Amino acid sequence: MSAGNEAAGFGTARGVDTTVLGENEIILNMGPQHPSTHGVLRIKLRLDGERVVDSECIIGYLHRGVEKIAEHRSYPQFAPYVDRMDYVAAVSNGLGYCEAVEKLLGAEAPPRARVVRTILAELQRIASHLLWLGTHALDIGALTPIFYSMREREEILKIFEKYCGARLTTHAFRIGGLQYETYDTFEYDVKRFCEALAARIDEYETLLTENRIWVGRTKGVGVLSADDAIALGVTGPVLRASGVQWDLRKAQPYAAYEQYQFEVPTRENGDAYDRYLVRIAEMRQSRLIVLQAVEQIPEGPIMARIGKVLKPPPGEVYHSIEGPKGELGYYIVSDGTIQPYRVRVRPPSFFNLQAFHRMARGAMVADVVAIIGSIDIVLGEVDR
Amino acid sequence: MVKRGGNDEDPPEKRPGDESVPDASSGASNVLQFPTSLKKVEPEAAAEAAKPARRVPGSAPAREAPPAPAPFDNELVQRLRARFGDAIGEVTIDRKQVIVIVDASHVREIALACRDDEKFEMLVDVTAVDWPRRERRFDIVWNLYSLTKNERLRLKAHVTVGATVPSVTSVWVGANWPERECFDLFGIVFEGHPDLRRILLPEEWQGHPLRKDYDILKQDTEWVREHLGIESGQ
Amino acid sequence: MRTLLIPVLCAVVIVALLPLIAGYIVLVERKVMAHMQARLGPMRVGPHGLLQPIADALKLMLKEDVIPTNADRLIFWFAPVASVAAALVAYSAMPIGPAFQIADLNVGLLFIVAVSSLGIYGVVLGGWASNSHYSLLGAMRSAAQLVSYEVAAGLALVSVLLLAGSLSMKEIVQAQLDQGVWFVFYVPFGFFIYLVASIAETNRAPFDLPEADSEIVAGYMTEYSGFRWALYFLAEYANVIVVAGVATTLFFGGWLRPLTRYHDHFPGTHVELLDVVPAFAMIALALYCFRLAPRQPLRVQKRVMAAAGVKCVLFAGILFAALFGSDAVREGVHGAFWFLAKVGAYIYCFMWFRFTFPRYRFDQLMRLSWQFLIPLGLVNVIGVAVAIVLRERWDWNPFFSLVPTTIVTLGFAAWLTADKLELSGTDEDIAAESAAVLPGSGE
Amino acid sequence: MMLAKLLFYFFALLAVGSAVLMVTRRNIVHAAVFLVTTLLATAGIFLQLEAEFLFVVQLLVYAGGIMVLFVFVIMLVNLDIEMRAVRFNKQWTVAGALAFVLAMQVLTALWVGRKTFHLPAAPAALAERNTETVADALFSHFVLAFEVASILLLVAMIGAVVMGKRRAE
């Protein structure tokens, strides 16, 4: 049924044909209420026995019209809304939005703010990856890692809570700088956490990395080649696991990333196992960044002088950051008023999820959950 | 490493006076080399990335108010103009971002040229902006990114209501969902799209919410009544 | 009629106690899981959650019994009952100590295997009757899994049968007493195969595919709720106890205590030294309870904890008093103790595996059985047969006659895992398989 | 002895009743369930005859093995279509006539041979270790037949594998 698309080089998702079923074929609806579709994703699977013949992701169950809301809020008013898109990485969302608006204004956050932003964004990346690790392992049937990873994530959320009072939807930054000055023991807390984290990551790896069943369940599953990944607009760890060494923190540095040394881990095979390894390695790198950053937080103001009322001059800007899940971009059009004329969010999960159809071909039902887990989607971001 | 003031740079532009500072992508000692070709880091690619920066004429310092969109020209633009002639409209630079206005009907060919000849391998996003007072009321925006050159490029086309835009799904398969989203929320029809259906809203929904004439409180009351069994979702 | 009285009593005891025992195994499992996962587990109902199973049971009984529309009502109703019935009937041939056995069939082992394999009907029919695709997938997985692993388990059992020369559970234990060694030391690979196969047969992680919650929601149990669901749960845990009992009887000497050949007595009495160990263990447990009791926050919790301690003292008393009773009493009580202790240890291993390993995929599960366990089992059986010939024809020492068998089986296992057992298909495999299932993709 | 008789009639009635239900049910899953019940009831009669090995084999092979695979296959069949399918209802008369003739034959045979119709007394020693007895018989006296049967099964198995393989390729 996908022969036409094959000619064009790819099987693009085209909706599952439910009318003509071969013998032994069944249609299975996974979701929107399913334990491991990570929210309200619905996947229509056409199965031959347990093997996936065709698949279609049906999204939109969490659509709240965030982009429409943005057109009716002033620039600072909209900032809390972005936290609710990728709600497991709210800090990164806020960072992207604030920087995009700053770029639109032609303003720039002071050095202290940029370093603190980097620290919080990297902690958020670790938290997001920890949550991913736990749920992914749970999907594959390992019951224990989630409790270990939640234990560590809790430490990060405590730091967020001490910093801004909120744990999940933090709204940690302000356009032009930071919402709050850091608290007294901020550096100490962050350092202590980072020092403990290395051993903890080793612990997860002991449980999973060389576990025969884990390797068997993830290796060769959901393979995405580098060319496919680029053509599909896939970014983030999924792209890097396919062998493309591309990370916006290096390619087009923002915040204070260019000050720090870190590596961009990549893998070759582009399967679920490589995505796992890439994310684990990324956590280690993020830890290094945080340790470097927290060592020297420059003194100085935390807010740039941007005025009380934000009225960016007319024009448009596209600014993107490397979110935990991939390229998180904001395309903001200003008409010179206090409200954005248009805010377009380029959510990484949306594009990464698009690659699901490609990864799932020929997989088994059990692989489907492994693949969804390995993409690391958040439906709040996909549906906006 | 020397600290830079700008919180980001969008090549091909570069702030004047920044020449002494090594570009993050051109291989400062502590930084991994960027950009990369696929799969392998190639030093040549990194060297190449620095090139477009030198072509750029100077612009205002960063801390002042951003410049108004200014006309822009470089080799890339010239090549595109030479090849597509009138299909390439105005080319401007706004806040260090190159925006190329293109003729909607030639988008597929231009996109193909951008992908294959200019090495913009990745389609980052497809979206639209509604300007209801304009005659050609929609701006369709394609954000491109070149992994080889570490550059961004924005194609923009103005279209009228009801006009169809060629789909670029044959150029980048990744355009599938964002084009569906544009269709869903703006009602823009992409010709040649393999499966142009609503994606975020229910299939039977009437109206396109991101159009400016669609009020924020408005909804498809018929649909709500029928499917949710309530009078109004408000 | 007299002959029937004791078996009927035993049966009533089993049927009455089993739900309670299963409930407490669930509690222990949750506690073990919690402590392996750096948390506390049930703590609210009773001290350390000791009353949790009762609360759970009450809740399940009061819950609404939902039957899906278009479900096959008759079979939907019948399936969980069949599951539980099969699990319970299997106990009738299980010797819990030398005195407590409903019927000593001379084909006892086969009977247990046969009856517990009937439990599959509950799963398959329940999954089918639910009229849900998840349930159907779960049922299909379950049927295929059980049929495959029964073969492997059967081969493991044959290796013991060759050594014991009988199918009667009692005589198998007697054989271990006569030969003076638990069969697990004679046929370690037989035990290994049975361990893996028994986990798979009881649908426990890492082989819990029929109820894999992250893939097919809850498999065959998806549409069940309330008491019917509880019946499935009961059947699962009853089956766990059955396989643990079979493993204990066949490989760990059933009710025999460790060091069966060590018979030193206390001077002047006929009480054996080692027989007092269980009583002292119980007293230690009681002391632990008493130590914890004052630290409980609530009065009722203190009391329950103290009661648990008193109960342990009581058990210790029974174990101790039994030493001075007649031989039958002594062996009955202590045999039951050792049997239950071994069963408990076996079940603990089940739990441990469950919290450590991720879940297999279906094709990997099948490959593990057909390409690894079954060939290994065949080699093992042949090896044991050779060993018996060596022993009987050439008077080899029974233990040394089995050494070559073990080595050969070990080598075979190494060879299988090195070359054959490719759990993750290679890229070509996947390409070939997707080409097979995707119409048009090969064009 | 009363109990034994009661049990026998229970099993016998169960077997016959389930067998009748099995043929009359339209829903083939129900039919399969009744077939299993029949097999189990027959197994119960075997147990009463102290043929413990036979009883267990009946459970293990027929009820636990073959019928599970049956049910497995039946589950995958689209039942709605099957249940709506037209049966061969017009054959009632032919079937009835044949059944009547058969019944008359059996009754005649019973009537004619009623004088010689005595069951031999059960051999007393058989109950002891009947598994071994069966094994001895199979592996010594009937070893050729046994091996022929196993080769037949092996061939069938290989055939099934070959046919299954072909589909995958």
pLDDT interval class at A129 (50, 70, 90)? very high
How confident is the model at residue D80, as a pLDDT?
59
| CA–CA gap between residue A192 and residue A125 (Å, rounded) | 17
| CA–CA gap between residue B216 and residue D160 (Å, rounded) | 64
Say whether residue A71 is in contact with chain B using an 8 A CB cutoff: yes
Contact A151 C38 (CB under 8 A): yes
Q: Which residue type sits at C32?
A: V
* Helices A111-139 and A90-105: angle between axes, nearest 10 degrees: 140
Name the β-bridge partners of C164: none
| CA–CA gap between residue B182 and residue C168 (Å, rounded) | 74
C321: its two tokens? 């008093």
The lowest-confidence range among A156-165, A169-178, C244-253, C263-272 is: C263-272
How deeply is C402 buried, as exposed, middle or buried, from its count of CB atoms within 10 A (0-12, 13-18, 19+)? buried
pLDDT interval class at D166 (50, 70, 90)? low
How confident is the model at residue D90, as a pLDDT?
67
Q: Which residue type sits at A353?
A: L
> How many other C-beta atoms are found inside a 10 Å radius of the C-beta of residue D168?
9
Nearest CA to A97 out of A130, A116, A70 is that of A70
Instruction: Write out residues in chain B with pLDDT < 70, as ranges.
Output: 1-68, 232-234
How confident is the model at residue B49, as a pLDDT?
41
Say whether residue A167 is in contact with chain C using an 8 A CB cutoff: no
Tell me if there are at least 3 CB pairs under 8 Å linking chains C and B.
Answer: no
Helix H segments across chain A? 3-7, 66-70, 75-83, 90-105, 111-139, 145-164, 186-208, 212-218, 226-231, 237-241, 248-251, 272-295, 348-354, 356-360, 365-375, 379-383
Residues of D in contact with C140 (CB under 8 A): 72, 75-76
Beta pairing class for B122-130 and B70-71: unpaired
| CA–CA gap between residue C220 and residue C146 (Å, rounded) | 14
Residues D59 and D132 in one domain: no
Residues of B in contact with A351 (CB under 8 A): 174, 177-178
Architecture of domain B70-191: 2-Layer Sandwich (3.30)
D118 within domain boundaries: no
CA angle A125-A129-A131, nearest 5°?
Answer: 120
C282: its two tokens? 């119980």
The residue whose two tokens read 């099957």 is: D82
A55 near A368, Cβ under 8 Å? Answer: yes
CA angle A5-A11-A17, nearest 5°?
Answer: 85
| Option in A3, A143, A220 nearest C427 (CB) | A220
Q: Which of B10, B99, B122 is the best residue to mutate to test the A interface, defined by the most A CB atoms within 10 Å of its own CB?
A: B122
| CA–CA gap between residue A384 and residue B47 (Å, rounded) | 39
pLDDT at A187 over 60: yes
**What separation, in Å, do the N-terminal and C-terminal C-alpha atoms of chain D show?**
62
| CA–CA gap between residue D134 and residue D137 (Å, rounded) | 5
Residue-by-residue pLDDT tens, chain C, 443 positions:
567 777 788 888 888 888 888 888 889 888 888 888 888 888 777 777 788 888 888 888 888 878 888 777 888 888 888 888 888 888 888 888 777 777 777 788 888 888 888 888 888 888 888 877 778 878 888 888 888 888 888 888 888 888 888 888 888 888 888 887 888 888 888 888 999 999 988 888 788 877 766 667 777 787 888 888 888 888 888 889 889 989 998 888 878 877 777 777 766 666 777 777 788 888 888 888 888 877 877 777 778 788 888 888 888 888 877 777 777 777 777 888 888 888 989 999 988 888 888 888 888 888 888 888 888 888 888 888 888 888 888 777 777 777 777 787 788 777 777 654 444 444 444 444 444 433 333 32
How confident is the model at residue D151, as a pLDDT?
93
- Smallest Cα distance from C312 to chain D, Å: 40
Query: Between A383 and D1, where is the model more confident?
Result: A383
How confident is the model at residue A130, as a pLDDT?
92
Nearest CA to A137 out of D130, B182, C359 is that of C359
Q: Which residue of B has its CA nearest to A12?
A: B173
Contact D29 C125 (CB under 8 A): yes
Contact A342 B38 (CB under 8 A): no
D121: its two tokens? 């007394």
By residue range, what is the domain housing residue D146?
127-169
How confident is the model at residue D86, as a pLDDT?
60
* Helices C133-164 and C169-179: angle between axes, nearest 10 degrees: 50
Residues D79 and D132 in one domain: no
Number of domains composing chain D: 2
D64 within domain boundaries: yes
A235 Cβ contact partners less than 8 Å away, ≥ 6 residues apart:
A246, A326, A327, A348, A351, A352
Q: For the stretch C307-344, what's the b/e string if a residue is b when 16 or more beta carbons lie within 10 angstroms of its beta carbon?
A: ebbeebbebbeebbebbeeeeeebbbbbbbbbbbbbbe
Q: Which residue type sits at C97?
A: G
C146 near C153, Cβ under 8 Å? Answer: no
Say whether residue A115 is in contact with chain B using an 8 A CB cutoff: no
**What separation, in Å, do the N-terminal and C-terminal C-alpha atoms of chain B show?**
55
Tell me if there are at least 3 CB pairs under 8 Å linking chains B and D.
Answer: no
Beta pairing class for A326-334 and A340-346: antiparallel
Contact C358 A220 (CB under 8 A): no
Say whether residue A372 is in contact with chain C using an 8 A CB cutoff: no
Residues C346, C351, C357, C362, Cα dihedral to 10° = 80
Q: What are phi and psi for residue B60, nearest 5 degrees?
A: -70, 155
How confident is the model at residue C277, as a pLDDT?
79
The lowest-confidence range among A65-69, C393-397, D108-112 is: C393-397
Residues D55 and D136 in one domain: no
Nearest CA to B150 out of A253, C56, A132 is that of A253
The ipTM value here is 0.71
Residues of C in contact with A367 (CB under 8 A): 361
Q: How many CB pairs under 8 A join C and D?
A: 78
| CA–CA gap between residue C303 and residue C51 (Å, rounded) | 13
* Helices C120-129 and C108-118: angle between axes, nearest 10 degrees: 10
A144: its two tokens? 């224990």
Say whether residue A44 is in contact with chain C using an 8 A CB cutoff: no
pLDDT at A352 over 80: yes
How confident is the model at residue D17, as a pLDDT?
92
| CA–CA gap between residue A43 and residue A365 (Å, rounded) | 11
Q: Which residue of C has its CA nearest to A139?
A: C214
B119: its two tokens? 């090495």
Q: What is the largest CA-CA distance in chain A?
A: 71
DSSP C220-233: GGTT--HHHHHHHH
> Which residues of chain C have a Cβ shorter than 8 Å from any chain A Cβ?
33, 36-39, 133-134, 136-137, 141, 205-206, 208-209, 212-217, 354-364, 423-427, 430, 433-434, 437-441, 443
Q: For the stretch C125-134, what's the b/e string if a residue is b when 16 or more beta carbons lie within 10 angstroms of its beta carbon?
A: bbbbbbebbb
DSSP 8-state class, residue C263: -
Beta pairing class for A42-48 and A51-58: antiparallel
How confident is the model at residue B171, as a pLDDT?
86
Q: Which residue of C has its CA nearest to A24?
A: C437
pLDDT at D64 over 60: yes
D115 within domain boundaries: no
| CA–CA gap between residue A263 and residue C443 (Å, rounded) | 42
B168 near B109, Cβ under 8 Å? Answer: no
Residues of A in contact with B130 (CB under 8 A): 342
The sign of the dihedral angle between the CA atoms of C132, C135, C141, C144 is negative
Give domain limits for chain A.
3-58, 66-383
pTM: 0.77
Distances (CA, A) of C36 to A199, C43, C354: 18, 16, 11
| Option in A144, A219, A367 nearest C37 (CB) | A144
Q: What element of type H or E holds B201?
A: none
D24 Cβ contact partners less than 8 Å away, ≥ 6 residues apart:
none
**What separation, in Å, do the N-terminal and C-terminal C-alpha atoms of chain C show?**
76
DSSP A42-69: EEEEEEETTEEEEEEEE--TT---HHHH
The residue count of chain D comes to 169
Return left, alpha or beta for A176; rule: phi > 0 is left, psi -120 to 50 is alpha, else beta.
left
How confident is the model at residue C2, as a pLDDT?
62
How confident is the model at residue B19, as a pLDDT?
38
Contact C437 A144 (CB under 8 A): no
Contact A63 B200 (CB under 8 A): yes
**A66-383 adopts what CATH topology?**
Cytochrome-c3 Hydrogenase; chain B (1.10.645)
Nearest CA to A347 out of A138, A73, A123, A88 is that of A88
Contact C117 D56 (CB under 8 A): no
Q: What element of type H or E holds A343?
A: strand A340-346
| Option in B39, B150, B177 nearest A350 (CB) | B177
Give domain limits for chain B.
70-191
DSSP A184-252: TTHHHHHHHHHHHHHHHHHHHHHHHTT-HHHHHHHTTSS---HHHHHHTT--THHHHHTT----HHHHS
Residues of A in contact with B154 (CB under 8 A): 318
**What separation, in Å, do the N-terminal and C-terminal C-alpha atoms of chain A show?**
31
Q: What element of type H or E holds C417?
A: none
Nearest CA to A190 out of A302, A298, A324, A294 is that of A294
Instruction: Say if residue C297 is preceded by a cis peptide, omega within 30 of 0.
Output: no
pLDDT interval class at A278 (50, 70, 90)? very high
How confident is the model at residue A127, as a pLDDT?
92
The lowest-confidence range among A215-224, A268-277, D69-78, D98-107 is: D69-78
Tell me if there are at least 3 CB pairs under 8 Å linking chains D and C.
Answer: yes
Residues D80 and D25 in one domain: yes
Contact A233 B216 (CB under 8 A): no
Q: For the stretch C270-295, what's the b/e string if a residue is b when 16 or more beta carbons lie within 10 angstroms of its beta carbon?
A: eebeebebbbebbbebbeebbebbee
